[in-house]
């Protein structure tokens, strides 16, 4: 829990509720403390990044253009409309849809991280 959130919450609680408001504000103030919220350790973040690069069949050293080209190639291959046109069995269509979703998630993550 962050001290900053407790202090701010307690101060706001005191202004609006007196001493009991200060206690309540300090108790829940940490919920609004953004200092450490959502941060992941570097090893966890690296594992997530590696998974996304592996999903797209790229590496960290590849250029943005290479990653974009690989993404477009995979999207053309696994797009639901392209799969439907091949008249494949239903389980193949479902598997391709899941793969397409994984590709989209990986692309979104890498696009945001690398500012592509």
pLDDT in tens, the chain (116 residues): 455 555 555 555 555 656 655 555 556 555 555 544 445 556 666 676 789 999 999 998 899 999 999 999 999 999 888 888 888 888 888 889 999 999 999 999 999 888 88
Residue 35 has a pLDDT of: 46
Retrieve residue 76's tokens: 């053309």
Residue 37 has a pLDDT of: 41
Terminus-to-terminus CA distance in the chain, angstroms? 35
SS3 (DSSP) at 37: coil
DSSP state of 102: H
Q: How far apart are CA 38 and CA 41, in angstroms?
A: 10
Residue 1 has a pLDDT of: 45
Going from N- to C-terminal start, the domains of the chain cover 3-32, 42-114
Contact 31, 13 (CB under 8 A): no
Residue 113 has a pLDDT of: 86
DSSP state of 101: H
Q: How far does CA 53 lie from the centroid of its chain?
A: 14
Residue 23 has a pLDDT of: 58
Residue 116 has a pLDDT of: 81
Retrieve residue 25's tokens: 């504000």
Cβ neighbour number for residue 106 with a 10 Å cutoff: 23
**Domain 42-114: which CATH class?**
mainly alpha
């Amino acid at each position: 829990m962050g001290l900053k959130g407790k202090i701010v919450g307690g101060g706001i609680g005191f202004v609006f509720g007196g001493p009991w408001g200060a206690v309540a504000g300090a108790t829940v103030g940490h919920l609004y403390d953004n200092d450490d919220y959502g941060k992941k350790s570097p090893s966890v973040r690296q594992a997530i990044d590696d998974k996304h690069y592996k999903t797209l069949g790229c590496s960290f050293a590849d250029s943005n253009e290479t990653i974009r080209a690989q993404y477009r190639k995979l999207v053309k291959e696994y797009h639901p409309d392209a799969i439907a046109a091949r008249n494949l069995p239903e389980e193949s269509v479902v598997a391709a849809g899941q793969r397409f979703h994984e590709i989209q998630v990986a692309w979104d993550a890498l696009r945001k991280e690398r500012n592509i």
